[in-house]
């Protein structure tokens, strides 16, 4: 039995296509909706050579999605529970 972080079962509704990520941009006053760019793991990966995550990693339950605002191009990481 391996209980590592390589195979985390993905309970993310957004990844499973059960719902869309709807999150307003924190930068835009008019509440522009962010575009879901997919889980952050797609970009940095669990095998990233950079082990220096700032803060603790709570990847077991929440799926971190990288979102971008089409209006101001802010990139925001949204945890999906």
Positive/negative CA dihedral, 18, 32, 70, 58: negative
Decide if residue 28 touches Zn ion (CB under 5 A): yes
**66 interacts with Zn ion by CB under 5 A:** no
How far is it, in rounded angstroms, from Cα 59 to Cα 28?
28
Q: Which stretch binds Zn ion (CB under 5 A): 1-9, 44-52, 54-62, 65-73?
A: 65-73
Stretch near Zn ion under the rule CB under 5 A, chosen from 1-9, 44-52, 60-68: 60-68
Burial per residue of 54-72, b for 16 or more beta-carbon CB atoms within 10 angstroms, e otherwise = eeeeebeeebbbbbebeee
Binding site for Zn ion (CB under 5 A): 12, 14-15, 25, 27-28, 32, 39, 63, 69, 71-72, 74
């Amino acid at each position: 039995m391996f209980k590592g972080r390589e195979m985390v079962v993905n309970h993310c509704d957004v990844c499973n296509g059960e719902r869309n990520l709807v999150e307003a941009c924190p930068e835009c006053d008019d509440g522009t909706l962010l575009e879901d760019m997919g889980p952050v793991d797609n970009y940095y990966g669990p095998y990233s050579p950079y082990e220096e995550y700032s803060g603790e990693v709570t990847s077991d339950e929440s799926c971190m999605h990288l979102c971008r605002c089409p209006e101001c191009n802010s990139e925001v990481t949204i945890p999906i529970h």
